[in-house]
């Protein structure tokens, strides 16, 4: 059985934890932010209403704030916090580099609020 945290980090379907939620890798900019209509493994329909994934923007905001705080704390711990402008620049670069993954991760977390894991899909015969 795949753990919930592992399936979220690997951007998998919240119901079966095996199929991909996204069409492609988040860093493949041609398919940036595109969600599959159905799970390739369990056939779950992801878009339960129009603009369903707009709610993931709230999750994305929370993830961005959390990552910003974590980067700042790491700068403080390693003694690299040299000034407000430099700290802001480092945090901004980190957020820009992680933006595609943060957006994808927020969609998986958002879908996880509405779709629950079904153990019957944990078997390989599906």
Radius of gyration of the chain (CA): 17
Which residues does residue 38 pair with via DSSP β-bridges, in sequence order? 45
The pLDDT of residue 70: 97
pLDDT 10s per residue in the chain (126 long)? 568 899 999 999 999 989 999 999 999 988 888 999 999 989 999 888 888 899 999 999 999 999 999 999 999 999 888 889 999 999 999 999 999 999 999 999 999 999 888 887 766 544
CA gap 79, 59 in Å, rounded: 30
List, in sequence order, the alpha helices (H) in 3-115.
4-9, 56-77, 84-114
CA gap 54, 36 in Å, rounded: 15
The pLDDT of residue 102: 96
**pTM, entire model:** 0.84
The pLDDT of residue 126: 43
CA gap 113, 126 in Å, rounded: 24
């Amino acid at each position: 059985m795949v753990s919930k945290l592992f399936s979220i980090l690997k951007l998998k379907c919240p119901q079966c934890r095996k199929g991909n939620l996204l069409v492609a890798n988040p860093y493949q900019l041609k398919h940036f932010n595109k969600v599959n209509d159905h799970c390739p493994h369990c056939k779950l329909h992801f878009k339960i209403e129009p603009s369903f994934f707009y709610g993931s923007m709230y999750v994305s905001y929370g993830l961005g704030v959390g990552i910003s705080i974590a980067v700042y704390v790491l700068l403080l711990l390693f003694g690299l916090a040299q000034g407000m402008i430099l700290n802001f620049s480092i945090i901004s670069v980190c957020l820009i580099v992680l933006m595609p993954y943060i957006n994808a991760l927020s969609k998986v977390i958002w879908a996880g609020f509405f779709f629950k894991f079904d153990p019957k899909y944990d078997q390989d015969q599906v």
